[in-house]
Structure 1
């Protein structure tokens, strides 16, 4: 699903304009990314958690030359799905959207 398709679903589900749906999606992405980049966690009950994880530096190998290369430490974004989200994906054949995310 693309951002445009997601916006169309929001239009139908919530009854808002396409521009408003895109604004909501863009704002949500910006808010989550900014908060996670600052080391915070964003938890959406029934959906999952967005957080960052420190990745330690390590010795690697250059794919071009085969020589050792130092890969510096960095921070990466992580998404941890909730139990309900995992169950919805696992049981996709019998998935009923209204039941799976009723607690949101």
Structure 2
């Protein structure tokens, strides 16, 4: 599903205009990315949490030459799905409002 398709679904389910739905998706993505980049966690009950994880630097081998190379430490974004989200994917069913409210 693309961002535009997601906006169309949001539009159909909420009655918002397509432009408003796209604006909400863009703002939500920016807010989550900015907060996680600062080291924060964003928790959405019934869906999951977005956070960052620090990976330490380490020694590795270049796959092309086989020579050792140093990989510097870095921070990566992580998404941890909620139990309801995992169950919905496992059981191939839509995540309903009851699932979201059960974890609040």
Q: What TM-score do the two structures reach when normalised by structure 1?
A: 0.92
- Is 1:24 aligned to residue 24 of structure 2? yes
Shift in Å at residue 101 of structure 1?
3.5
Question: In the alignment, what sits opposite 2:96?
Answer: 98
Question: In the alignment, what sits opposite 1:11?
Answer: 11
Distance in 2, Cα, partners of 1:101 & 1:6: 20
Listed as ranges, the gaps of 5+ residues in structure 2 are none
Distance in 1, Cα, partners of 2:2 & 2:17: 17
**Would the aligned equivalents of 2:45 and 2:100 in 1 still touch at CA under 8 Å?**
no
Shift in Å at residue 100 of structure 1?
5.2
**Would the aligned equivalents of 1:56 and 1:74 in 2 still touch at CA under 8 Å?**
yes
Between Structure 1 and Structure 2, how many residues are aligned? 102
Listed as ranges, the gaps of 5+ residues in structure 1 are none
CA offsets, 1:20-73, max 9 Å, x none? 010000000000000000000000000000000000100011122110000000
Backbone CA RMSD of aligned residues: 1.4
